[in-house]
Amino acid sequence: MYSSYRKFEILYPYLILILLAIDFYNIFYHLGNFPISSWDEARHGVSAYEMLKQKNLVVSTYRYKIDYWNLKPPFSFWAVMAGYKLAGFNALGLRILSGISSMLTIIMVAAFVNKSYGKLAAILSTLALSTSTQFIINHSARTGDADALFVFLFTGSILSLLLSEQNDKWLYCSGIAFAFAFLTKSWHAGSIAIIIGLYVIITGKLKRLTKFNWILLISCMIIPILLWAVARYQYDGFAFFRKMIVYDLLQRSSTPIEGHIGGKLYYVLVLIRFFGLWLAILFGLAFLYTFKGLSTKILKSENKFYKLGICLWIIILFLLFTFAKTKIRWYILPVYTPLSIIIGVLASNLLMMQGRLRKKIMLILSILFVSSYYYGQIHAYLHRPIPNLPLSLLQQVHGLDEVKGSSIFLYRPTNPLPWQQNEVLTAELYGDLLVENGGLNDFLKKKRALLLVQKGLEAKQLFETNQLEILTSNKWGYIVRKREKDGITFEKNDKIRIEDRTFERVTQSFLKNR
């Protein structure tokens, strides 16, 4: 057995690199090619874009008005802004920091478990986390939402808390990570503070820490938040904070706002949907350890406070969000990390025991089947993006400097919906367009404006009656503007060749002179 494990230790660097390479592919493959989602990816993207354009790092806006719906502090917006700077004003820029945050979360878990429980546990924990389909493809690693960054900071805070058993300096890292988690998702970070509080009480740290330790820890947790609060107060006083408390904390906790309802088992069903096969392995391992006499090793006093912290991590998250009335599936995202760690630790302990060959073979086959199944789901998602034709049409204005900064209106007669959030963001990112309310009449009154038109029987008549020219089109519709004096040429398929206007005017002048 010892000889086999020594061989595994030699292979470990290659195995972990292969796993991380697969994770990198799953997270970043065609990351910028998937359509932008309205809730909440586009909302974050719009706020970050407008804050960057207005050179304001404090006040988040939506369509250039102060946003009192998305009541989050600005750290996630700063991350998206950094993404725009890294990869440009596009979907990749919107999401790249989420991808980086998720990769760092996986690496952090692998490093912690390797240091605390060994290389085999690190491999298995990494495998479980990187095949958590919600963590990879649903409102997290591959989207521009705040959740991937929040999970990274949540994980960093709790793992630092556990490492504080070795050195109190890690406790301050935990406090700083909490502060930035709060600046990312506001009251969601309250669960971190509760875990820290319970942990220091149960482990006896409450008495061991000096006054200086407490002052430093509380300073790390509060000062970054206070600095933001003071800066925000300069713009609209207590208005933003009042809405944060009344709507985002009290109403969200006490009533199911915006139709987000669910029963007591809501998050259990979410886990079954995205992580159910791993949970089956976890329950199987728990049964073996509890009822089959395999608990001796796992219940040893070694790393007992780590086990306490990880259990608190799961229990507090579940209790808080289960009893909160507003239910949204991505609220539970931080729980995949501790569940993956527990699966890795329990499975590696069983595989390292003497004998029990049949159980080991069954466990190995189960792990291979489950990881293959979830990798298959991720692979299918990566290679079957669902196109969004209105967004594709808006993207076609990219690079047309002549329309950059124009106003754009919406004409959607067969489906009179207002601007969707992902349409607003796409218009801003790809054409720096100012999205306006109103329809055809408002567009005609505006000097420098575009009109997004859904295809229909009346479209051509609309263009001829109002002397409109097609700038670009696709199967869904057209982007048009008021006709210029030099005219325009329609092709049979209603597409327009984007021609050099200067060359066209020179040619027409030459023909007239002849």
Q: How far is CA 156 from the centre of its chain?
A: 17
pLDDT score at 293: 62
What is the structure's pLDDT at 5?
63
Under-70 pLDDT residues of the chain: 1-5, 292-302, 484-514
* pTM attached to this predicted model: 0.91
For the chain, percent helix, then strand, then coil, each to nearest 5?
70, 5, 25
Look at residues 423, 479, 414 and name the one whose alpha carbon lies nearest to residue 449: 479
pLDDT at 510: 35
List all residues 6 or more positions away from 290 whose beta carbon is below 8 Å from its beta carbon.
none
Burial of 496 (0-12, 13-18, 19+ CB in 10 A): middle
Question: What DSSP assignment string belongs to 87-105?
Answer: H-SSHHHHHHHHHHHHHHH
Report the pLDDT value the prediction gives residue 416, as an integer from 0 to 100. 75
What's the pLDDT score for residue 303? 75
State the pLDDT at residue 458: 81
Q: Please, which residues have CB within 8 angstroms of residue 289's CB and are 6 or more apart in sequence?
A: 295, 298, 346
The pLDDT value recorded for residue 504 is 43
Give the C-alpha separation, 77 to 250, whole Å: 24
At 482, phi and psi to the nearest 5? -65, 140
* Euclidean distance between CA atoms 164 and 174, whole angstroms: 9
Sorted by where each begins, the domain ranges of the chain are 14-382, 389-513
